[in-house]
Amino acid sequence: MAPHESERIWDLARGRLAGAGAETVRAHVAACPECAEAFAAAQSAVEAMRDLAPPPRAPNEWKAVDDAVLQHARARLEAGPLQRLGERLSDLFTPRWTIAAAVAAAVLVGLVLWRPEPPAPRMTPSPSVALRPPPNVPLAPDAPESAQGDSVAHAGPEDAQGDALAHAGPEDARVAQVIAAVHASSDADDSLSQGARVQTHKNGEAVLRLPEGSAVDLRADSSATLAALSPQEIRLQVDRGELVVAATHRDARTFEVVAGDATVRVVGTRFAVSRTLNGAIVRVTEGKVRVTAHVEETFVSGGEELTVTPTTTRKRTLGEDIQRSLAPVIAKLEGIIQPMPKVPDAPDAPAPRTEIGSKPSQSTSAQAQARAAPDAGTIAGTSLPSATSSNDSATAEKATAHPGSDADEWALPPLGTTADAGTRNAPTTANPTTRDAGQPWINGAVDNMKKWLAVDWNAPFPPVGMTMVEYRVRQMEHLADAGRCKPVLKRADAWVAEFVTKAATPPDPELHRTVELTRARCLEKLGRVDEAKKVRARWP
């Protein structure tokens, strides 16, 4: 039996129907055995419920109850302001609300402290961490070579176990600069020049700045070869693991990353290339890359990933979790990349001096330091002394590796300083608003807080400062934007119906208009153009 039939039958049984309406229902009941049975049941129920008034009570029976209620009321109403305040507070802290508040507080604390990417051991500050600040030391172009910052951190005989590399030499236009490296090593002897191979251990990481200003992050347990390294051509070969790239925009430069069968060509973008057992995965977070594999080219845009196997390529949307995991790395690299003021036209032209080897203006130097020092300094959780950018450091010709507390680990002091733990731990003057690249969990917490502060359109309650009525309207708009039109139509009906049936006051005209226009938008999307027109006609 349909609900409306049941309603009508009960109305008839209660005598609420009269005239033609009653006759129609009676005729229907006569023709429908099921309805007749329901009508008989309803009639007997109504008959049984005819008199359910409470038995009359004598005044003396009321006395005890009246006295109790009135006595309580007097005590409550005649209470002083402090007592009233206490009662109001006790009303507020009912067990239900107390539990709700406790749960909300726990969730908030959890959101703030939850670390989606727990800090990997490679980022843990330790004496094994090797830091190399970007050489902000202004060097005279015609200065003797020995004074041009031929500062090479020698891994020495312990190179096989050396945890840090730092290079910046006279041929710095053709070498990669190690901004920070933890548990990383290179098979090149002293400098990361063309052909050098960089490896990171399971808990290691190496951040490099390439000669043309781009920055790369060789992730843990990875290996890459710097196959070509010049301002005109960068070619990196990922032998194992993952390489994250933040490439600067250069028209006159080719930038390639080779991983297995895949060759990735970029102009200016942010992406990651992972070498897998049987191929490669290219994940692009920003910009566009061109991937050549199996003699065919595929463009991969921001928010996409391409999986290359020995026989096929498959493109799909980049997962949010991967984007989240790449975000802090990309942010770190973006603080390192440097635009190149000028790129030589011909490969054979003399290598121009970059900021690394040339003598920039003081402001440039200061900017470079402001940009790079905090990142480099905090990558490993230690700080760089401000002396690294002073002219005094120009005299620092060689940085010497200093053994750390552990025999297997050693750390490099910043240029121009001694390897003194106190100076290494000196506080930076980094802008407090910048993200702390060395503390990914803090960044994660900040991200979480931002997400928490952002409106969660799936939440059953509105954000602070928004009424429930308005929140529901905004939810509808949000759903309509996302193309989920059928729920919008249902919600719009419910929203309007609720005001008609429940609310004592009419809805806010602007909100009502928004609801109707959202409804019209959805009707159009669903192809119900005529209905949409009618709605728009009512709400011009």
Partner 1 sequence: MQLAATWVMGTTPPASSRDAVQADERDALSSLVARVRDGDTAAFERLYRVTRDDVYAVLFKLLGPSPDLDDVFQEAWIQLLSAIRRFREESRFSTFAWRVCANVALKHLRTRRRRPEDLVAELPEPAAPGGTPHDSAQAKEAQALVHAALELLSPKKRVVFVYAELMEMRLDEIAEAVDAPLNTVRSRLLNARAEFPQALAEVQRLHRSRRPVHGAP
Chain residues that interact with partner 1, rule: CB under 8 A: 3, 6-7, 10, 14, 41-42, 44-46, 48-49, 51-55, 62, 64-66, 68-70, 72-74, 76-78, 87-88, 91, 494, 497-498, 501-502, 504-505
CB of 38 or CB of 155, closer to partner 1: 38
CB of 77 or CB of 160, closer to partner 1: 77
Q: Residue 459 Cβ, how far from partner 1 at the closest point, in Å?
A: 19
| C-alpha–C-alpha distance, residues 336 and 90, integer Å | 56
CB of 55 or CB of 350, closer to partner 1: 55
Q: Which amino acid is at 441?
A: W
CB of 410 or CB of 499, closer to partner 1: 499
CB of 2 or CB of 20, closer to partner 1: 2
Residue 396 burial (10 A CB sphere; 0-12, 13-18, 19+) = buried
Q: Residue 517 Cβ, how far from partner 1 at the closest point, in Å?
A: 24
Q: DSSP per residue over 7-55, as a string?
A: HHHHHHHTT---HHHHHHHHHHHHH-HHHHHHHHHHHHHHHHTS--PPP
Q: Residue 497 Cβ, how far from partner 1 at the closest point, in Å?
A: 7
CB of 74 or CB of 324, closer to partner 1: 74
CB of 6 or CB of 434, closer to partner 1: 6
CB of 424 or CB of 472, closer to partner 1: 472
Q: Residue 42 Cβ, how far from partner 1 at the closest point, in Å?
A: 7
Cβ-Cβ contacts under 8 Å for 289 (sequence gap 6 or more) = 264, 265, 266, 269, 271, 282, 299, 300
Q: Residue 509 Cβ, how far from partner 1 at the closest point, in Å?
A: 19
CB of 56 or CB of 432, closer to partner 1: 56
Strand partners, 254: 233
Strand partners, 264: 257, 291
CB of 53 or CB of 346, closer to partner 1: 53
Q: Residue 50 Cβ, how far from partner 1 at the closest point, in Å?
A: 8
| C-alpha–C-alpha distance, residues 281 and 304, integer Å | 11
CB of 410 or CB of 495, closer to partner 1: 495
Q: Which amino acid is at 266?
A: V
CB of 3 or CB of 157, closer to partner 1: 3
Residue among 131, 164, 163, 137 at smallest CA distance from 150: 137
| C-alpha–C-alpha distance, residues 178 and 151, integer Å | 12
HEC profile for 231-249? CCEEEEEEEEEEEEEECCC
| C-alpha–C-alpha distance, residues 211 and 348, integer Å | 16
Q: Residue 466 Cβ, how far from partner 1 at the closest point, in Å?
A: 20
CB of 59 or CB of 144, closer to partner 1: 59
Contact indicator for 335, 350 with CB cutoff of 8 Å: no
Q: Residue 15 Cβ, how far from partner 1 at the closest point, in Å?
A: 11
Q: Residue 206 Cβ, how far from partner 1 at the closest point, in Å?
A: 59
Residue among 537, 492, 500 at smallest CA distance from 518: 492
Q: Residue 76 Cβ, how far from partner 1 at the closest point, in Å?
A: 6
Encoded tokens for 4 = 């409306």
| C-alpha–C-alpha distance, residues 391 and 375, integer Å | 21
Contact indicator for 169, 150 with CB cutoff of 8 Å: yes
Q: Residue 183 Cβ, how far from partner 1 at the closest point, in Å?
A: 60
| C-alpha–C-alpha distance, residues 346 and 104, integer Å | 63
Count of residues in the chain: 540
Residue 59 burial (10 A CB sphere; 0-12, 13-18, 19+) = exposed
Q: Residue 468 Cβ, how far from partner 1 at the closest point, in Å?
A: 13
Q: Which SS3 state, helix, strand or coil, does residue 120 take?
A: coil
| C-alpha–C-alpha distance, residues 482 and 490, integer Å | 15
CB of 55 or CB of 157, closer to partner 1: 55
Q: Residue 522 Cβ, how far from partner 1 at the closest point, in Å?
A: 21
| C-alpha–C-alpha distance, residues 217 and 304, integer Å | 20
Q: Residue 501 Cβ, how far from partner 1 at the closest point, in Å?
A: 4
Helix 440-453 to helix 95-113 angle (10° resolution) is 140
Encoded tokens for 76 = 């409550």
Neighbours of 507 (CB within 10 A): 17
Contact indicator for 249, 229 with CB cutoff of 8 Å: no
Q: Which amino acid is at 29?
A: V
Name the one residue in this structure whose structure tokens are 């808990």: 203
